[in-house]
Structure 1
Amino acid sequence: MMQTPTVTPSIHQLPQAMEPRNPGIELDLDWVRRAQANTSAIERRAKTLPGRRSVKKDYQAAWLCRAISCIDLTTLSGDDTEGRVRRLCAKAHQPVRVDLLAALGMEGLTTGAVCVYHDMVPTAVEALAGTGIPVAAVSTGFPAGLSPFHLRVAEIKESVEAGASEIDIVVTRRHVLQGNWQALYDEMKTFREACGDAHVKAILATGELGTLRNVARASLVCMMAGADFIKTSTGKESVNATLPVSLVMIRAIRDYYERTGFRVGYKPAGGISKAKDAVTYLALMKDELGNRWLQPDLFRFGASSLLGDIERQLEHHVTGAYSASYRHAIG
């Protein structure tokens, strides 16, 4: 049985706040080309994950609180308004009803960050002032990543100047599909330099990379170029975060750590909307990387609706009854 994790409000800071940032290394093409993925074995392992870990009662509540602390609460819609972003920020600061947090002994719990488009960064920064919750901005021509290169770099710099302390960038998929690892490395390194002190999450858009082997190799190249996090998806692809893809990326992170000594974070995004799925992902991180990667400086969920289901599960834990979703404001 998994032990109850503790959630410490003081850890809700920038990614890698408790770790040296990954400075990157020289591109090692031999290492990249040796990276393989046994698809059938990976799929078998992933299929067993939901049934291998079962947490109930207080243990389940503790893991769900940990999941909340690792959420990048996100709104990336064309109809976003300042009012919607302010409501989302209020939800990030108070993710669960006050009475439920008091009953759980979890006062002060917040989400890991708020993620918005560049245009909404100033609004989010103002709304979160004094909370310690970072603002993440999607950048580099999100979600396709096909705008002119100099504009993608400029977009990063403008988001940082506007107050974003985390930048979620998208890589050029064709570099991966064509095996042009030098181009991917150079692109990622330029994005990392443009971020300055802001931490960078590299979105691989795994649903568009074709094979798990491509996912493994792209993960390594982005980490070699200095990514602080690697992230599965934009949330706009037809296939987003999956357990097989997550297993491949997590093992690439482990391999990179064992060889370099630098910890890189992981962010599954898109399609994770149920509390039970969040626990499965946390269990995967614990099994493959250990407890250190169960902190919000090394693990995030990219999600918009996940928090609502977690809050309903926590109310059930406290009161013994499920409530209608409209009782829990999502933002």
Structure 2
Amino acid sequence: MPSTAPALPLADVTVSDAALRRFLHGLPGVDAVGLESRAAALGTRSIKTTAKSYAIDLAISMIDLTTLEGSDTPGKVRSLCAKGAAPDPSDRSAPAVAAICVYSDMVREAKEALRGTGIAVASVATAFPAGRAARSVKLADTREAVAAGADEVDMVIDRGAFLSGRYLQVFEEITAVKAACGEAHLKVILENGELATYDAIRRASWLAMLAGADFIKTSTGKVAVNATPANTLLMLEAVRDFRAATGRQVGVKPAGGIRTAKDALKYLVLVNETAGDDWLDPAWFRFGASSLLNDLLMQRQKLTTGRYSGPDYVTVD
């Protein structure tokens, strides 16, 4: 796909609401048919046995293993952390996941359970998943997560403000949350299913990156439409073009609805063919998932032993 990198300096883009609107609405429109056709075509690529084994391990190492339920308990979080650190107890060569993602009140529990593993603790914040709260509440939520030990914060944008065209308000909120994160990395959730159009997703991607996002994330996993190959491809184009324009690399995290190894490998093909192999690293690409790990482990066992064990042979989250 052709680059969408703007041919103008970005220094003055965020000085006013009018300037930001002019910039965002000046981005090239998205060819929806072309985008979906390319995503579908890349999804047909075949990955052979040796490369498949490497890709499965890479996908495991990119997972943000997630539990975001009202019924979460300290015991459930500790169990999830143990699984993330040793996904397959029968095969210690299986890589650990990238992070464990929990609500802020479970961060201390996760941090203690993961001590010495090198696995990051990610916390959702800013009134996740709806984001319907005053900015002071969102910032307090972020600071609480960081104070508890979160290495990464996943925030949600104010979709109401964005869809109303109040772009500077959204920009300023992201920059405020970024400041509240301190040393923690910030993942900005766009909630693509609520943005509805590809043009809006492209604008939101650029807005989040201009505001300092370390990652842009497709979705909360709590709405009807979450990550899709097409909307993830669009975000990969955005981070590629943003680096071309600014020199700064930003990660991408598809979340919600990615449940099988086959699906995960399709996303890795999208990364390689769109952004390039610089993004084929847990530092720059993540899967937000809860059930994906189980299928990756089953496929890994099949490649290793020649037998498909089935779901009863992997631990239940």
Range class of TM-score, shorter chain: over 0.9
Range with greater deviation from structure 2 (270-279 or 29-38): 29-38
Secondary structure, counterpart of 2:97 in structure 1:
coil
With normalisation by structure 1, the TM-score equals 0.88
User: In the superposition, relative to structure 1, how do residues 70 and 25 fare at CA in structure 2: closer, same or farther (>3 Å)?
Assistant: farther
Q: Aligned-pair distance for 1:259? A: 0.5
**What pairs up with 1:249-288 in 2 under 5 angstroms?**
249-288=235-274
Asked whether 1:181 is paired with 2:167, we answer: yes
The reply on whether 1:86 has 2:72 as its aligned counterpart is: no
Q: Tell me if 1:42 matches 2:35.
A: yes
Deviation at 1:26, TM superposition (A): 5.2
Could you list the structure 1 runs, at least 4 aligned residues long, displaced by more than 3 angstroms after superposition. Answer: none
Alpha-carbon separation, structure 2, partners of 1:91 and 1:330: 9
Give 2:59's aligned residue.
Answer: 67
Q: Secondary structure at the match of 2:43?
A: helix
Kindly tell me the number of residue pairs found equivalent between the two proteins: 301
Q: Deviations over 1:259-311 (max 9, x none)?
A: 00000000000000000110010110000111110100100000000000000
Contact 2:13 2:23 in 1 (8 A): no
Structure 1: 5+ residue runs without aligned partners? 1-23
Task: Say yes or no: does 1:152 pair with 2:138.
Answer: yes
Q: CA deviation at 1:50?
A: 1.5
TM-score w.r.t. structure 2 length? 0.92
Aligned residue for 1:95, secondary structure, equals coil
Once the two structures are TM-superposed, the CA of residue 97 in structure 1 deviates from its matched residue by 3.4
**Identical positions, percent:** 46
Matches of 1:32 and 1:155, distance apart in 2? 29
Over residues 115-151 of structure 1, what are the superposed CA-to-partner deviations in whole Å (9 max), with x where a residue is unaligned? 0011111100000011111100000000000022211
Q: Give the Cα–Cα distance (whole angstroms) in 2 for the partners of residues 90 and 207 of structure 1.
A: 32
Q: Give the distance between the partners of 1:25 and 1:60, measured in 2 at CA.
A: 45
Matched, 1:118 2:104: yes
**Aligned CA-pair RMSD:** 1.4
Counterpart CA distance in 2 for 1:47 and 1:25 is: 37
Match of 1:239 in 2: 225
1:307 aligned to 2:293?
A: yes
Over 3 Å counting, the alpha-carbon distance change for 1:25 and 1:120 in structure 2 is farther
